[in-house]
Amino acid sequence: MLPGQKNLNQTMLDANQLASLQEAIATYTPLQLAWTSGYLAAKSEGGSVAVLPTATAGASAQAQPTLTILFSSQTGNAKGVAKKLAENAKAAGITVNFKNVSEYKPKSLKSETHLLIVTSTNGEGEPPDDAIEFHEFLASKKAPKLPNLQYSILALGDSSYEFYCQTGKDFDERLKALGATAVTPRVDCDVDYEEDAQSWSANVIDTLKDDLTKSGDAGLAPVVSLSGATEVESQYTKQTPYEAELLVSQKITGRDSAKDVRHVEIDLGESGLTYQVGDALGVWFENSAALVEELIATLKLSADEKVSIKGESFTLSQALTSELEITQTAPAFIEFWASISGDAKLKALAEDKNAAREYAGEHQIVDIVKAAPSDVAAQVFVDALRKITPRLYSIASSQAEVEEEVHLTVGLVSYEENGATRFGGASGFLANDAEEGATVKVFVEHNDNFRLPADGNTPVIMVGPGTGVAPFRAFMQERDASDAEGDNWMFFGDQTFTQDFLYQVEWQGYLKSGLLTKMDVAFSRDQAEKVYVQDRIKENAKEVFEWLERGAHLYICGDANRMAKDVHNTLVDVIATQGGLTPEQAEDYLKSLRSNKRYQKDVY
Amino acid sequence: MTTEFKDIKSTGDGPIIVEGKHADNERLKLESNYLRGTIVEDLADRMTGGFTPDNYQLIRTHGMYQQDDRDIRAERQKQKLEPLHNVMLRARMPGGIITPKQWLAIDKFADDYTSYGSIRLTTRQTFQFHGVLKPNIKLMHQTLNSIGIDGIATAGDVNRNVLCTSNPIESELHQEAYEWAKKISEHLLPKTKAYAEIWLDAEKVETTEHDEPILGKSYLPRKFKTTVVIPPKNDIDVHANDLNFVAIAENGKLIGFNVLVGGGLAMTHGDNSTYPRKADDFGFISIDKTLDVAEAVVTTQRDWGNRVNRKNAKTKYTLDRVGIETFKAEVEKRAGVTFGESRSYEFTSRGDSIGWVEGFDGKNHLTLFVENGRLIDGPDSPIKTGVAEIAKVHKGDFRMTANQNLIVAGVAAEDKANIETLARQYGLIKDETSNQRKNSMACVAFPTCPLAMAEAERYLPGLVTDVEGILAKHKVADEHVILRVTGCPNGCGRAMLAEIGLVGKGPGKYNMYLGGNHAGTRVPKLYKDGVDEAGILTEIDQLVGRWSTERNDNEGFGDFTIRAGIVAEVKVSKRDFHA
């Protein structure tokens, strides 16, 4: 026996305790182990330990199983049937989770044991609007195996249509294919559905009643959120990133938006990579093939020409694609190109550092070269470029919710120059170049300066306009999964309500469920006068101050240049006015919040 | 109320009062504090462009429907954005008369604050704005109020906009009839001040049951539609309406009305307890009894209408359930009248006469054909701008017709040429428009109407072109078949009074009905179920082919389909329509 184990055995746990601990954790994934260690650490310090209902934790086998009843309905008939079904099931002593399918997270399916679906079908066999996503999920690769699931389906339809009850049939077929078992056969009902629906309901409750009313003792299983858990060192780092799969790159601004913002989902697979909410994801990217080609053509060089970077040999094309930075530039390059080209305007620019920086910020390499064409040797050009660097994105998800995935909110950087649209390096890669299924090299960048309060009861105020919304989506997922009781107040802003309300439907859902206490939004271009998040903070001055006074943590994420400063100044104002303080005292108030980790920023 | 009517004997096929748990809409009307609900709170909610479920229903009584752009509904769901919620407003314009000044104001509002930039003339003889976002709704009502228009009770379970035959020729008779349309509209209007409070920031005044003597605390069981019609024109389609006043004149002077009760076209696919039904003639009343009778019909329907099942709640079902005689007797009792023998009248046409006519008063009237009633600027025909240009110089008024067309009314002889030049310049007069096109009609449907199951307005123009080809092929190019397309079975396009009625069933699929007539006095019958667009053309080609060779002299298409036994005639809807 090794000394360490012996020690553990002798001083901490007896043999039985140790055996049962080892047995308990034998099947845990690295993620679950990390989770458990955090739980135990928190427990040993006597800290409060969050609890989750078993349905969401998906753990305890002893707990009384829940019957999940989902409905999707176009005209309300299916809803009516499902509602009655839920009432009858409850009356039979069954624990019921009753939801419209659009409010149901399809990923929870894998932890379900008993599921009933009542669904109608639209005109030509397509699912009702509220079931489109669920239907897509079931049919997609993302759908999990469901060997433990027992289910039954009631399909409402109209037999005069060609695709009678099609949606019900689709669900049935897919659930079966995923390994689930039909406890009673699907029933298809015609326009006069009442009787068939009633007998299906009675039958299915009768069949499931015994299974679902065994009294289990542990209704709740203790868990703790990842926050505060010991981090497991990952073998994947900035230098050795994980080659992840891009699952989704979905535009989440409307078709008439001036912006293109993407919701990106990346699969961390078996990497064992873990992150906490507040962390960032580093993303390596390749420069776009079209841009590389345009640059080489402008320089009148050959794509296949060999160049060397730090002793390694590449073709020019390879070097410009994956080794060197060509979408971001710096004053040094302007200086370089001014001397190569002898261009007077560039020379003048190079001498004024501020102007050079500004110009560099607004131009890509190719446009600087185009502004003053000149011949250059490939190696000389390559030597003047910087090594490509990964971009960091605030993570927009919590692993308590999305497990092996990581979500980002990526604003596609783009502007017009030389009659072409120039895109940001990483955002262009994620939005335009990488197809779903492509490989993305990623690593986790921890950020302990942007953390939810350890105590789930502490209120939080989140200010995250634009893509600054990302970490707060993660916060909400985390607080949802950990059943944190603290109040949550979100301030969001963007250009227009109809086109730019990022994750609108999710925020509405969190408000409806009560997880989100309050949300205030500001859309700058919807009215004659511009309105921003800081204006909403000001309008709510009294309440903001009250929240701070009762211990709220305050977070700002997004634009560093203007927004974060404006919000800060507004906060100083609010605190001074509401607290009867001088501006200096109000600044001190915020300083003390900051040193107590109650005022945190993630700005860029 | 149940005991109140226990001594009344039903002569129909059901009880006077339908017992049972009331439909949910009854709860929300009752709880709405006289149509207020929590609309004000919803307006302040910046998280959504929509209304909460109860208010979604209640805003209808203020003239609005919540809609969304259905073309991009799925796209926005993927974008994690809610549907592009907006409202459609239907104005209250009894008889459809609107002044040039009013027109210019609504034209501007449509440009500045609607997502489609259009004005839609509708079968309720009024205009609709489509695509108004929530932050602009109050501004919309205030704009309308500033020009003397409102949206009170043009939708929901109330008496809606009152129609009146557009007959500019018999100017004096029309004027009288129009005045009655206005009076009836105002008499039956909700008396609650909810509209003014919510939209016009009027002072809050409590409403009590005493203030709402006609409609009551729960308002009507279902929508209710009223018309004033001047025979021989039946442009407003009496049989699509719950209550109709048929103008009876002597020596050009209005003396009274025949009262027709219980028309209505809405039905539900697959539910045979629903059917389109013609109105019944209760008989003649003298002119001084008009408002009493209107009120008595409405209150009888209020008390006896089915509040348990909304699908059977309209007046037409109440009549069949309690019996026409019983209903009529109750109306006589409540109004203190005895219906006289019905005066003779005849309907001969329903379409508008496109082009110029001269009225008895010597004024000229130009009826403009507006396809689908949609006034929107197209690349070749900037017709919305055209109407605005006319409004800038026109000294008379405009009349919106129940056929979705527009009359430039009251033009002095010296102004005729100028108006005509403008109308031609902006594509409002097109000499090549066929009779078939003029007699074809569609409801709005996609992309805005939440009820639509299939295309209507966007389908009709191409369909008419195809039908024109078929008519030409069978050498009846100058004739027409009354053709109406409606995106769902709720009846806005009045397909259930057409010779060929197409009722949307699913994307690209329609139920095809045949057998209406030109005068609009016969309900058509189902011919084929769930036909696609190609199938529809094949059927029309074959049917028109037979009609052109086998018909009697001047026999209309609908009459022919019945005589030839292609469909059976619907005489009594309840019995024949689904038979």
The DSSP result for B88-121, as a single string, is: EEE-B-GGGEE-HHHHHHHHHHHHHH-SS--EEE
The tens digit of pLDDT for each residue in A582-599 reads 999 999 999 999 989 999
Residue A86's contacts (CB-CB under 8 Å, 6 or more residues apart) are A69, A96, A98
Tokens of A368: 């600087």
Q: With a cut of 90, say whether residue A122 has pLDDT above it.
A: no
Q: What is the pLDDT of residue A58?
A: 37
Task: List chain B residues with CB under 8 Å of A189.
Answer: none
Q: Do A507 and B47 touch (CB under 8 A)?
A: yes
User: Strands B243-250 and B226-229: what pairing?
Assistant: parallel
Q: Do B79 and A251 touch (CB under 8 A)?
A: yes
A260, A451, B295 from A474: Cα distances, Å: 21, 11, 60
Q: With a cut of 60, say whether residue B170 has pLDDT above it.
A: yes
What ipTM was estimated for this complex?
Answer: 0.91
- Of B423, B262, B240, B250, which Cα lies nearest the Cα of B327? B262
Q: What is the pLDDT of residue A48?
A: 44
Q: Do A505 and B80 touch (CB under 8 A)?
A: yes
User: Strands B500-506 and B509-514: what pairing?
Assistant: antiparallel
- pLDDT grade, residue A64 (50/70/90)? confident
| Residues B298-327, mean pLDDT to the nearest whole number | 98
Looking at residue A473, its amino acid is R
Least confident of A177-191, A483-497, B145-159: A177-191
Please state, in angstroms and rounded to a whole number, the distance separating the CA atoms of residues A31 and B508: 51
Q: What is the pLDDT of residue A35?
A: 55
| Interface contacts (A, B; CB < 8 Å) | 79
Q: What is the pLDDT of residue A18?
A: 64
Q: With a cut of 80, say whether residue B406 has pLDDT above it.
A: yes
| Residues B276-299, mean pLDDT to the nearest whole number | 98
Q: What is the pLDDT of residue A10?
A: 43
Task: List chain B residues with CB under 8 Å of A503.
Answer: 80
Task: List chain B residues with CB under 8 Å of A162.
Answer: 530
- pLDDT grade, residue A19 (50/70/90)? low
Q: Do A160 and B73 touch (CB under 8 A)?
A: no
Task: List chain B residues with CB under 8 Å of A132.
Answer: 74, 77
Q: How far is CA A550 from the centre of its chain?
A: 29
Helix-helix angle A331-341:A344-351, to 10 degrees: 150
Q: What is the pLDDT of residue A77?
A: 79
Q: Identify the residue among A501, A506, A518, A521 best suited for mutation to test binding to B, counting B beta carbons within 10 A and taking the highest.
A: A501
How many Cβ atoms from other residues are within 10 Å of residue B487's Cβ? 28
In A234-354, the DSSP E strands lie at 242-251, 261-267, 280-283, 306-309, 312-315
Q: What is the pLDDT of residue A31?
A: 57
Task: List chain B residues with CB under 8 Å of A540.
Answer: none
Task: List chain B residues with CB under 8 Å of A165.
Answer: none
Q: What is the pLDDT of residue A107?
A: 84
Q: Which residue of A has its CA nearest to B133?
A: A498
Q: With a cut of 90, say whether residue A1 has pLDDT above it.
A: no
Q: What is the pLDDT of residue A36?
A: 64
Q: What is the mean pLDDT of chain B?
A: 96
Q: With a cut of 60, say whether residue A51 has pLDDT above it.
A: no
| Helix H or strand E encompassing A335 | helix A331-341
**Residue B495: strand, helix, or coil:** helix
| Residues of B at the A interface, defined by Cβ within 8 angstroms | 46-49, 72-82, 84, 133, 135, 269-271, 453-454, 505-509, 529-530
Q: Which residue of A has its CA nearest to B505?
A: A123
Which is higher by pLDDT, A76 or B367?
B367
Q: What is the pLDDT of residue A9?
A: 38
Q: Which residue of A has its CA nearest to B531?
A: A161
Q: What is the pLDDT of residue A7?
A: 40
Edge-to-edge strand ranges of the sheet holding B509-514:
B440-442, B483-486, B500-506, B509-514, B525-532
DSSP state of A539: H
Q: What is the pLDDT of residue A126?
A: 83
DSSP state of B391: H
Task: List chain B residues with CB under 8 Å of A263.
Answer: 80
Q: Do A508 and B47 touch (CB under 8 A)?
A: yes
Please state, in angstroms and rounded to a whole number, the distance separating the CA atoms of residues B314 and B328: 16
Calculate how close chain B gets to A480, using CA atoms only, in Å.
Answer: 19
The tens digit of pLDDT for each residue in A268-278 reads 999 999 999 99
| Residues of A at the B interface, defined by Cβ within 8 angstroms | 122-124, 129, 132-133, 158, 160-162, 190-191, 250-255, 263, 497-499, 501-508, 511, 519-521, 526-527
Q: What is the pLDDT of residue B377?
A: 97
Calculate how close chain B gets to A321, using CA atoms only, in Å.
Answer: 31
| Residues A128-153, mean pLDDT to the nearest whole number | 87
DSSP state of A321: I
| Residues B212-241, mean pLDDT to the nearest whole number | 97
Q: Do B77 and A519 touch (CB under 8 A)?
A: no
Identify any residues that bridge with B246 across adjacent strands, giving them in sequence order: B229, B258
Contact A89, A67 (CB under 8 A): yes
Q: With a cut of 80, say whether residue A66 has pLDDT above it.
A: yes
The tens digit of pLDDT for each residue in B110-121 reads 999 999 999 999
Task: Report the percent of chain A where pLDDT is more than 90.
Answer: 63
Q: What is the pLDDT of residue A79?
A: 85
Q: Which residue of A has its CA nearest to B68?
A: A498
Residue A291's contacts (CB-CB under 8 Å, 6 or more residues apart) are A326, A327, A364, A366, A422, A423
Q: Do B74 and A132 touch (CB under 8 A)?
A: yes
**Hey, which residues of B are catalytic here?**
90, 160, 223, 225, 443, 449, 488, 492
Tokens of B379: 């690349």
Q: Do B79 and A254 touch (CB under 8 A)?
A: yes
DSSP state of B22: P
Task: List chain B residues with CB under 8 Å of A160.
Answer: 269-270, 529-530
- pLDDT grade, residue A38 (50/70/90)? low
Q: Do A501 and B78 touch (CB under 8 A)?
A: no
In B150-218, the DSSP E strands lie at 163-164
Q: Do A250 and B505 touch (CB under 8 A)?
A: no
Tokens of B397: 């008024």
How many Cβ atoms from other residues are within 10 Å of residue A2's Cβ? 7
Q: Do A508 and B75 touch (CB under 8 A)?
A: no
Task: List chain B residues with CB under 8 Å of A123.
Answer: 453-454, 505-507, 509
Contact B371, B461 (CB under 8 A): yes
Q: Identify the residue among A497, A513, A529, A532 best suited for mutation to test binding to B, counting B beta carbons within 10 A and taking the highest.
A: A497
Query: Across the interface, which of A124, A250, A511 has its CB nearest the CB of B78?
Result: A250
Cα-based angle B170, B173, B178 (whole degrees, multiple of 5): 115
Q: Do B509 and A123 touch (CB under 8 A)?
A: yes
Burial class (CB in 10 A: 0-12, 13-18, 19+), A525: middle
Task: Report the percent of chain B where pLDDT is more than 70.
Answer: 99
Q: With a cut of 80, say whether residue B564 has pLDDT above it.
A: yes
Q: Which residue of B has its CA nearest to A498?
A: B84
Q: What is the pLDDT of residue A26?
A: 66
Q: With a cut of 80, say whether residue A59 has pLDDT above it.
A: no
Q: With a cut of 50, say whether residue A218 has pLDDT above it.
A: no
How many Cβ atoms from other residues are within 10 Å of residue A331's Cβ? 19
Please state, in angstroms and rounded to a whole number, the distance separating the CA atoms of residues A577 and B49: 33
Three-class secondary structure assignment of B278-306 = CCEEEEEEEHHHHHHHHHHHHHHHHHHCC
Contact A248, A265 (CB under 8 A): yes
Q: What is the pLDDT of residue A311?
A: 92
Q: Do A160 and B72 touch (CB under 8 A)?
A: no
Query: Across the interface, which of B46, B79, B271 has its CB nearest the CB of A253?
Result: B79
| Residues A64-73, mean pLDDT to the nearest whole number | 88
How many Cβ atoms from other residues are within 10 Å of residue A164's Cβ? 16
Instruction: Give the DSSP per-residue string, A423-481.
Output: E-HHHHIIIIIPPTT-EEEEEEE--TTS---SSTTS-EEEE--GGGGHHHHHHHHHHHH
Contact B279, B206 (CB under 8 A): no
Least confident of A4-13, A100-109, B223-232: A4-13
Alpha helices in B114-163 (DSSP H): 137-146
Task: List chain B residues with CB under 8 Å of A477.
Answer: none
- Of B341, B398, B320, B124, which Cα lies nearest the Cα of B241? B124
Query: Across the interface, which of B72, B77, B82 has its CB nearest the CB of A255?
Result: B72
Least confident of A47-56, B256-265, B408-417: A47-56
Q: Do B506 and A497 touch (CB under 8 A)?
A: no
DSSP state of A98: E
Specify the pTM: 0.82
Cα-based angle A16, A38, A459 (whole degrees, multiple of 5): 140
- pLDDT grade, residue A419 (50/70/90)? confident
Please state, in angstroms and rounded to a whole number, the distance separating the CA atoms of residues B482 and A172: 46
| Residues B325-334, mean pLDDT to the nearest whole number | 98
Q: What is the pLDDT of residue B2?
A: 52
| Helix H or strand E encompassing B19 | none
Calculate how close chain A gets to B543, using CA atoms only, in Å.
Answer: 24
